[in-house]
Chains A and B, each alone.
Chain A
């Protein structure tokens, strides 16, 4: 035991010394700052992210991260969303046909027989609306402050997760947070993202002007763009809508996965082995 402690201490000291030596000798690179050409790219982003005088290049969002994620490299984020979509579809395929409806009708599962104590349940009741409110503010302010749709959606999914742990999966399902509504929420979010990416194209078709898929602000050869402000409030064109729809999609997806993961093993096995059909 003593030797183990000494070994841990010795290896920690060795780690610190090695890193100090490496820093001192310049082994981790002689530039404490990024290379000049990388810095130029960063200053370009900072210069154009909210610059109303520079109409053809700006993203009209004060948060460069949000602007980069949904405007400068918007297609990349769209494909990330698609990868996540496929992952959840894979999980759904594994669990296809599995429902808790038959178990739900059992009278034992309807009561508050499951879950933690009354104290925990009361705290969860107070906390769940707060979590939803905070997550919505993260998503709705995604174009103004740090945060965004994915972050807000993951925070929102904590609320059903809390209910799952503190109450039970039966409680969540009996309150209407079941697979189908979550699937609808998710689909609505993805549909919203799809329509927002095509919004500029629709405007272009109506006005007869050139427009691009995933266009946010006007460009020099495509003068259509989504409104950067609504009656003086900055919404940063497509960023606001993309954040909202990503929020809905991610919240739905995560809740769906949590519900699937919390199904009792016996129920899932009886479905997968073909003993039960719905």
Chain B
């Protein structure tokens, strides 16, 4: 009885996280199209990687853990989804960081409209990153 309840809760939480992921992906793609310059577009893209990939993968892991009909094989799905989610959590921010840093330093992307550039002031004062 308790086990069934736990499974139900796991599946509900998993479904909720997958739905959140779908909404975040939609938001991120709208932002990617509508935002004015590279850096804010990158922000929209990372919304898609963390909220739109990490969260639904954890949701898939929870859902599979609660879905008893899959049998023992559901733990493979859970493990695979969890490992992939952790890798995305680790590597998504690193990738966007490297992209932003390279495009700022090489001046490949012009930050316009720009309100405040703290990094530029820091460079002007002779400071290192």
Interface residues of A (CB under 8 A from B): 116-117, 119-120, 123, 126-127, 130
Contact = CB atoms under 8 A, between A and B. Distances in A.
Interface in B80-129: 87, 90-91, 93-94, 97-98, 101-102, 129
Contact of B91 (A116, A117, A127): A127
Contacts of B98: 116-117, 119-120
Contact of B129 (A117, A123, A130): A117
B41 to A, nearest CB: 20
Interface residues of B, number: 10
Contacts of A127: 90-91
A117 B98 CA distance: 8
B77 to A, nearest CB: 16
Nearest to B91: A123
A126 B91 CA distance: 10
Nearest to B97: A119
Contact of A120 (B87, B94, B129): B94
A120 B97 contact: yes
Nearest to A117: B101
A133 to B, nearest CB: 12
Contacts of B93: 119
Nearest to A123: B94
Interface of B: 87, 90-91, 93-94, 97-98, 101-102, 129
A120 B98 CA distance: 7
Contact of A126 (B90, B97, B102): B90
Contacts of B102: 116
A160 B90 CA distance: 19
21 contacts: A116-B98, A116-B101, A116-B102, A117-B97, A117-B98, A117-B101, A117-B129, A119-B93, A119-B94, A119-B97, A119-B98, A120-B94, A120-B97, A120-B98, A123-B90, A123-B91, A123-B94, A126-B90, A127-B90, A127-B91, A130-B87
Name, among B93, B98, B102, B129, the residue most crowded by chain A CB atoms within 10 Å (CB to CB).
Answer: B98
A127 B98 CA distance: 15
Nearest to A121: B94
Contacts of A126: 90
Contacts of B90: 123, 126-127
B5 to A, nearest CB: 36
Nearest to A165: B98
Nearest to B105: A117
Nearest to B83: A130
A111 to B, nearest CB: 15
A126 B94 CA distance: 12
Name, among A117, A127, A130, the residue most crowded by chain B CB atoms within 10 Å (CB to CB).
Answer: A117
Name, among B94, B98, B129, the residue most crowded by chain A CB atoms within 10 Å (CB to CB).
Answer: B94
A116 B91 CA distance: 14
Nearest to B94: A123
A119 B93 CA distance: 9
A130 B86 CA distance: 12
A126 B40 CA distance: 28
A138 to B, nearest CB: 15
A123 B98 CA distance: 11
Nearest to A126: B90
Contacts of B94: 119-120, 123
Nearest to B102: A116
Contacts of B101: 116-117
